[in-house]
Structure 1
Amino acid sequence: MASTQGLQAYEEEKLLLSLPKERGWAAHHLYLFQDFWCPSNFIEGVNNFQKHFQSKDSDVIVSSFPKSGTTWLKALTFSIVNRKRFSSFDNHPLLTSNSHDLVPYLDFIFHCDNIQNKLSYLSNMTEPRIFGTHIPFPSLSKSIQESNCKIVYICRNPFDTFVSFWIFANKIYPDSLDKLTMEEALEKYCKGIIGFGPTWEHMLGYWKESIATPNKVLFLKYEELKEDINFYVKRVAEFLDCPFTEEEESNGVIESISNLCSFEKMKNLEVNKSGTFDRSFEKKYLFRKGEIGDWVNYFSPAMIEKLSKTMEEKLSGSGLSFKTYS
């Protein structure tokens, strides 16, 4: 076992030395791995996930770029899929468990040496299994891409995503950002140098796949969910082949799910106010404002011009666009 672990560590070190490296914000360094920027401690999990994960047709994958509404979409998806199992909204798992605990990240699951234990854990999960990931579409395991599993993707206006990521990173890794100004961080962001970035390629990968295979990938925007959450709760249920019955609709089940998963409700739950996530940062940092357009309080005119031009360049001709809400 020791020799196997030693060989694996050697191979990982050899891989890191071969990859382009840049200074990160929430990580000291990011490595260009499979065409996206990845912190070194995630690469092992991504590699193992790609090699060992076997998707089932009933699986649901909640995918997102970081700080785009991940915690919210995980809660919504879990509640929609499991509404028959947990019909009481007064005694629901989301009241006592963070949505990241209920919908685990695939690369986190495989970030370990004991793969067999993880495979046993996965095989014993209640179906349909629901997982989360920040991994770009091209780097998902072949079994996910080739199976009939469903992918629900959420993105957010890049202006708000940047601000949310910047503030989050400052909170959880204050020492690593002391020499990086917000303007410098935006420069990196526009160049795509951010964990799981470039942002543009991440969004466009899922966007194009949602157009090519609309029955497999559902593409959502954070802002649209905020504007009409009940509509999108119903839309997600239809996409996942578990539509609400007329009786459920008349009994207010859609509204109950929307309320259970609302930002205000989740932020004020004790389970989300105390404790840490994966022993790495405090859960309370997952919830800040949840607002649309808060970026106007942070951007200078020069920063607005820079990101606007970058978005125009990167998203031009794709059909994907965002309101500025300024």
Structure 2
Amino acid sequence: MTNSDASVLSFLGDEGITEEIKDMMSSLPRQKGWMVKYMYQFQGFWLPPSLLQGTINCQKHFQAQDSDVILVTNPKSGTTWLKALIFALINRKKFHDSQHQHPLLTHNPHALVPFLEEVYYKYPQVLPDDVVSSSSSCPRFFGAHMAHVSLPDSIKGSSCKIVYCCRNPKDMFVSFWHFGQKMASKESLFCPIEEAVKLFCEGSFLSGSFWDHVLGYWEASQKNPDKVFFITYEEMKERPRTHLKQMADFLGCSFTKEEEEKGMVDEIIRLCSFESLSSFEVNRKGKLPNGIETNTFFRKGKIGGWRDTLTDSLAEEIDRTSEQKFHGSGFKFQC
């Protein structure tokens, strides 16, 4: 097992879990997980011990500011790309036509935009200064995989903005499947893809049920579109210019006519493209503080790439679950 493997398994497993959370785990429903030994049901979602602890600590201690921006995704739903896009969008005046080198050239997007659950897994009560400074100082910018029901009250009750991005479940599953094959020890956490699909469709996934996760934010965006910006990965890929401008309007940092004429929208899209980000040395050879090699976040990013991995029967199993879960919601993926 590599150091990266050990780091990931440590974060996803029981190591570092406090006695308070262990006591809580003993009373929660438990079932077999994927990439983890067990998942625990909390607020209707199955979570590994570390994300359970991070979520609970975040609920207790995170104090949102009205200017905060929270990017929420399921894992492997364009998270790295969206972090880069929004970071560049928010900080465009600071680093455009400046002598300062753009942070994305030397830092992986996950290093610039920390996950709240991981931060509060490590630091139960205090948001460290280095974490705050690693995000844009004003507004602050954080990532999260939490379900809408599990967001801290300070986020729901403040005027902070939530950007939510989801991805076709077949592509998302396959992306996470390959990510897991790189990260996990096959000897200790081997899971045949047929079993992984079954667990995924049952909701035993890293951040709980994919479909319930999506619907929570979809419904929130319908009720309060000024609070939650809902976008799919496929929409962003097909029309990045249109949706980046919409996102800027939502976040209160619209592009000026002069910025558009100077090509700043296209400049941000080029800087944050898969081709650009994956070519930067920090993303080819670097590592995050938790030991994960940064190149693991860049595989293909293609729409419909699931066809290279899933059999027809496995794809149909996921499609059936989507039809059942999304029925009557008014939401469906376009591809």
Q: TM-score range by the shorter chain?
A: over 0.9
1:82 correspondence with 2:82: no
Q: State the superposition RMSD in angstroms.
A: 2.0
Percent identity at matched positions?
44
Residues 40 and 46, structure 2, Cα contact 8 Å, conserved in 1: yes
Partner of 1:111: 121
Q: Distance in 2 between matches of 1:108 and 1:258?
A: 28
Residues 52/124 of structure 1: CA separation in 2 closer, same or farther (3 Å cut): farther
May I ask how many residue pairs the two structures share in their alignment? 317
Q: Which of 273, 283, 290 lines up with 1:262 in the alignment? A: 273
Partner of 1:21: 30
Partner of 2:102: 92
Q: Distance in 2 between matches of 1:177 and 1:154?
A: 32
1:211 correspondence with 2:228: no
Residues 170 and 177, structure 1, Cα contact 8 Å, conserved in 2: no
Q: Which of 237, 240, 247 lines up with 2:248 in the alignment? A: 237
1:299 correspondence with 2:307: no
1:253 correspondence with 2:264: yes
Residues 279/300 of structure 1: CA separation in 2 closer, same or farther (3 Å cut): same
Partner of 1:33: 42
1:60 correspondence with 2:72: no
Cα drift, residue 304 of structure 1 = 2.2
For 1:306, what is the secondary structure of its paired residue?
helix
Residues 298/179 of structure 1: CA separation in 2 closer, same or farther (3 Å cut): same
For residues 206-236 of structure 1, what are the alpha-carbon distances to aligned partners after superposition, in whole Å with 9 as ceiling and x for unaligned?
A: 0000000000000011011111111111111
Partner of 1:289: 300
Q: Distance in 2 between matches of 1:177 and 1:220?
A: 36
Residues 111 and 134, structure 2, Cα contact 8 Å, conserved in 1: no
Greater mean deviation of Cα atoms: 8-17 or 127-136:
8-17
**Structure 1 segments unaligned to the other structure (5+ residues):** 1-7
Cα drift, residue 177 of structure 1 = 6.8
Q: Which of 139, 144, 147 lines up with 1:128 in the alignment? A: 139
1:169 correspondence with 2:180: yes
Greater mean deviation of Cα atoms: 214-223 or 116-125:
116-125
Cα drift, residue 121 of structure 1 = 5.9
Residues 164 and 228, structure 2, Cα contact 8 Å, conserved in 1: yes
Q: Distance in 1 between matches of 2:297 and 2:64?
A: 28
Cα drift, residue 42 of structure 1 = 2.0
Residues 26 and 176, structure 1, Cα contact 8 Å, conserved in 2: no
Cα drift, residue 248 of structure 1 = 0.1
Cα drift, residue 308 of structure 1 = 1.3
Greater mean deviation of Cα atoms: 115-124 or 128-137:
115-124
Q: Distance in 1 between matches of 2:253 and 2:185?
A: 43
- TM-score, normalised with respect to structure 1: 0.92
Residues 25 and 177, structure 1, Cα contact 8 Å, conserved in 2: no
Partner of 1:3: none
Residues 234 and 254, structure 1, Cα contact 8 Å, conserved in 2: yes
Q: Distance in 2 between matches of 1:194 and 1:23?
A: 10
Cα drift, residue 124 of structure 1 = 10
Residues 113 and 134, structure 2, Cα contact 8 Å, conserved in 1: no
Partner of 2:3: none
1:149-228 matches, cutoff 5 A: 149-175=160-186, 179-228=190-239
1:69 correspondence with 2:78: yes
Partner of 1:148: 159
Q: Distance in 1 between matches of 2:221 and 2:246?
A: 14
Residues 120 and 127, structure 2, Cα contact 8 Å, conserved in 1: no
Cα drift, residue 108 of structure 1 = 1.6
Cα drift, residue 66 of structure 1 = 0.4
Q: Distance in 2 between matches of 1:313 and 1:282?
A: 37
- Give the counterpart letter for 1:257 in structure 2: I
